[in-house]
Amino acid sequence: MTAAADNLAAPAPGALVLADGTVFEGETIGALAPEPAGTASGEVVFNTVMTGYQEVITDPSYAGQIIAFTYPHIGNYGTTAADAESRRPFCRGVVVRDLARRRSNWRSDSDLDAYLTRHGIAGIAGVDTRRLTRHVRDCGAMPGAFGPAPDDAALDRLAAEAQAEPGTAGVDLVSEVTTAEPYTVGDGPWRVVAYDLGIKRAITANLGRIATVEVVPAGTAADEVLAREPHGVFLSNGPGDPQMAGSVTTALGDLLGEVPIFGICLGQQVLGLALGGRSYKLPFGHHGGNVPVRDESTGRIEITSQNHNFAIESGSVPGVDETHVCLNDGALEGFACRDLPAFCVQYHPEASPGPHDSRYLFDRFADLMSSFWGSARRPNGAASRLGGRADG
């Protein structure tokens, strides 16, 4: 790799303006550089990971959001196609303190600046991200806009754009990220239908260890799912307000009790709504790879990877045992139905990026399917296709 392989063009002055009028100065990068044009707007949140920035940027759960990284040095090991978690980034923009000017890693095939440019993602560097993070913590996640800011008139335009940005509440973002057509991954012995609410490749890889996974669009009806004769249904992570994922919530009404169900992140939220629970928006969400969660049944602490702005209100879901709690703010992080084969967690057990403390949950899903299909209630021909595995 030579210096010429990296994008070393001089950045142009820019600014990030929040909906409350707060201004953060910086320099345009990504799709706004080296020839600045246009602006980017979205809901500004901060992520606390120290590594894994490409996995974060390509997580579809960030649709509608601008990601501010709290770790000061971003881009030092470049990017590689192997680390992308989706077909393209769905975030609205990226904010960093110090963008590495040269990448250094044998796996790297591009620098971060060029990666953002290639995928049309705007960015701004040189921002005081410590100040920005403190502001979001104090005032909550809020819309913002950034772009070139050569004069006061440009700042006024950015402020107006930020104030016009709707944020993520009451907005259907799942339809922006879900697959258009079903597809199959993995070759495990179980058959699982996975609702793509914004699914990540690391999730399908982990599910693929235990199942042959048919990934279906978020709008797939319950009868279409059952026609595939699955042993289980998986509800993936995804962006935005669970109240706007109504088709999935409706489908769950017909799937609960028919097949084992495992949900994560947005999957927990739609499952909670389907069971009669209430959702709410967190002040600034959980975004990072170091969130401590306690398993209430064992007292064990897991360090988890999380990315969500909404949650299910503790105590609002009837007929469940609340299994996990966030030690940072007491938010509900998991529950299991008492009389139905369904459980969920609010975090990302596949990590990517993040610790692997919670990957055992995929095996727990396999155990639930084994227990459920050990009865006479199993899809036609399941035992012959699975060589007896379905009988536990």
Known catalytic residues are 265, 348, 350
Q: Can you count the helices (H) and strands (E) in the chain?
A: 11, 19
Total residue count of the chain as it appears in this document: 392
| Residue 209 CB partners (closer than 8 Å, separation 6+) | 186, 188, 362
In single-letter form, the type of residue at position 19 comes to: A
Structure tokens at 5: 């392989």
Of 190, 202, 251, 221, the closest CA to residue 378 belongs to 190
315: which DSSP letter? T
CA atoms within 13 A on the CB side of 283: 11
| Nearest residue to 124 (alpha-carbon basis) of 67, 61, 79 | 67
In the chain, where does DSSP find H-type helix?
53-57, 112-118, 129-139, 152-164, 174-177, 201-210, 222-227, 246-255, 266-274, 360-372, 382-386
Contacts of 362 (CB under 8 A, 6+ apart): 206, 207, 209, 210, 349, 350
Residues whose CB falls within 8 Å of the CB of residue 4, separated by 6 or more in sequence, listed in order: none
CB 196 within 8 A of CB 228: no
For residues 165 and 43, is the Cβ–Cβ distance under 8 A?
yes
Question: What gap in Å lies between CA 29 and CA 68, rounded to an integer?
Answer: 14
Question: Among 21, 67, 26, 74, which residue's Cα sits nearest to residue 43?
Answer: 67
Sign of CA dihedral 150, 152, 153, 155: positive
| Residues sharing a CB contact under 8 Å with residue 205, sequence separation 6 or more, in sequence order | 185, 186, 350
Torsion angle of C-alpha atoms 36, 165, 310, 83, degrees rounded to 10: -20
